[in-house]
Structure 1
Amino acid sequence: MYFRYQPSPLGPLLLAGDDQGLHLLHMDAAQPWELPSEWLPAQHRLDEVARQLDEYFAGKREIFDVRLAPLGTPFQREVWQALQRIPYGTTCSYSDLAGQIGRPRAVRAVGTANGANPIAIIVPCHRVIGSNGTLTGYAGGVERKQMLLELEGAWLI
């Protein structure tokens, strides 16, 4: 696994991936993060991810085109794939997302899977909000969620 820190308007981001793709995009990278000893500095391996993130934060990219390799259960991966279908600049509720994957009663499980998303921003879990239009919890903090939605010009439900 290779890693690098990427500066962003949200603070440093930790990127980690290998030949299969990006496994992790973690916010709060300024916090002490115990990296596994076998992880190696990325050198140039994650440059494309970093470039696309820079374009996103500059308002020049709406869709990411990088290989992703998140590790999770089949249900989590199903939710994360559904997250990637939420268009830039829009939001949906956890209930909407549960319906989209054909499990309308699994709202809490969808919320848990959303919160376990290991690839923030690129897998846009920030686009999921409460059914009443409120900004609900976000692993990177509600302030960052609001910043991302404002960057995208998202209208809240």
Structure 2
Amino acid sequence: MSKDSTRPQGRRDQRRPGTPARQAATTATRTPTPTRTPATTPTALRRLHHHRPTPHEQFAERLLAVLSGRRPVHWMLGHTIGEAYEQLVQLAPRTPLRTRGTLPVVRTCGGFHPRPGVVEAFASIAAGEQVRAMAFRLEQGRDLRWRCAAVELGSTPATAACAPA
């Protein structure tokens, strides 16, 4: 009986069940390793496949959903503290992110930790050709949940603000 006759039909792997890894590696056929480009380095692949969004990235998406009109303002009730909810109530109906055409998306998002439990975050929001800025502050409560404490949107461009109505 040959080695290959114990393999299940259609199996191409030369290793046999119970074969030590060292021996299996020497009997398996070798394939050439592809050259690595910057996008396929282990670090880049780890970022692509195992990226867990940070709290400020999650909040940027949540805030955008409210400010673009995809979600109602009260959706953020348990996720805001202090004046942030009132700021959202004021911003949401008149924000330039409520577009009728292109759906706005978070393009970039970053944050700064001035002290433990606080994140000062920023995001750039793209809707077609337009890019707007959004800044917000997150504070971590005793229950370890992050809540939005303040929200600001970048002002409208000067040409739009000065244009006659």
TM-based fold match above 0.5: no
Give TM-score scaled by structure 1 length.
Answer: 0.23
Give TM-score scaled by structure 2 length.
Answer: 0.22
Structure holding more strand per residue: 2
> Which structure would you say has the larger RCO, counting Cα contacts within 8 Å and 6 or more residues apart?
1
Q: Report the structure number with the largest CA radius of gyration.
A: 2
